[in-house]
């Protein structure tokens, strides 16, 4: 039997099991002000870009409005425009840095639609490479992320600063 070493996942497993996750991380993390500890890459006027701490794939980013809402239709024109401009920025930066073969991008609105954070709308940008998925998710129900979050943050952060 082979073993995958992913000790950073235990935090997520313990929080999910204990039900101790309180508040809204998409409100709380930007308010804390420690961008590197919270993997926050960019602050816009209405929205921000944050790395997913429990990614599906290396470089999995989320764009969210500062305003707490679960409804896309609640966002004003300026919020929407900036939100999708940041989606473009994320794709442009990731393409330049890592040259993925494609991207998954989208929103899951509501728990039944797959939203892990269902009370605060956000858009996922997930780079994809040929061979980044194999038998693990199908047979073992396990995803494999091939790079460390802190390493990805160190590569991405200066690129977002250049674009600002």
The tally of domains found in the chain comes to 1
**Residue 17 falls within a domain, yes or no?**
no
Model pLDDT, residue 114: 86
**Residue 145 falls within a domain, yes or no?**
yes
The DSSP symbol for 21 reads -
**Residue 35 falls within a domain, yes or no?**
yes
Model pLDDT, residue 99: 96
**Residue 33 falls within a domain, yes or no?**
yes
Residue among 12, 11, 55 at smallest CA distance from 147:
55
**Residue 95 falls within a domain, yes or no?**
yes
Determine the structural domain holding residue 84 and report its residue range: 24-131+139-163
Tell me the Ramachandran region of residue 108: left when phi exceeds 0, alpha when psi lies from -120 to 50, beta otherwise: beta
Which residues form the catalytic set? 122
**Residue 30 falls within a domain, yes or no?**
yes
Model pLDDT, residue 11: 58
pLDDT tens by residue, 31-72? 999 999 999 999 999 999 999 998 878 899 999 999 999 999
User: For the domain that residue 157 is a member of, what is the CATH number?
Assistant: 3.30.428.10
**Residue 70 falls within a domain, yes or no?**
yes
The predicted model scores a pTM of: 0.81
Low-confidence stretches of the chain (pLDDT < 70) are: 1-21, 132-147
Note whether 94 and 101 are within 8 A (CB): no
Model pLDDT, residue 116: 86
């Amino acid at each position: 039997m082979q073993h995958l070493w992913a000790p950073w996942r235990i935090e997520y497993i313990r929080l999910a099991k204990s039900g101790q996750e309180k508040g809204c991380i998409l409100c709380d993390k930007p308010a804390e002000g420690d961008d590197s500890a919270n993997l926050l890459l960019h602050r816009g006027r209405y929205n921000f870009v944050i790395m997913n701490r429990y990614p599906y794939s290396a470089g999995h980013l989320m764009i969210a409005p500062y305003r707490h809402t679960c409804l896309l239709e609640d966002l004003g024109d300026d919020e929407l425009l900036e939100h999708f401009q940041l989606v473009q920025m994320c794709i442009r930066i990731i393409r330049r840095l890592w040259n993925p073969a494609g991207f998954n991008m989208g929103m899951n609105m509501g728990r039944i639609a797959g939203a892990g954070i269902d009370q605060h709308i956000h858009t996922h940008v997930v780079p994809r490479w040929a061979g980044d998925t194999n038998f693990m998710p199908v047979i073992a129900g396990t995803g494999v992320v091939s790079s460390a979050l802190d390493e990805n943050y160190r590569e991405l952060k200066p690129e977002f600063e250049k674009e600002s």
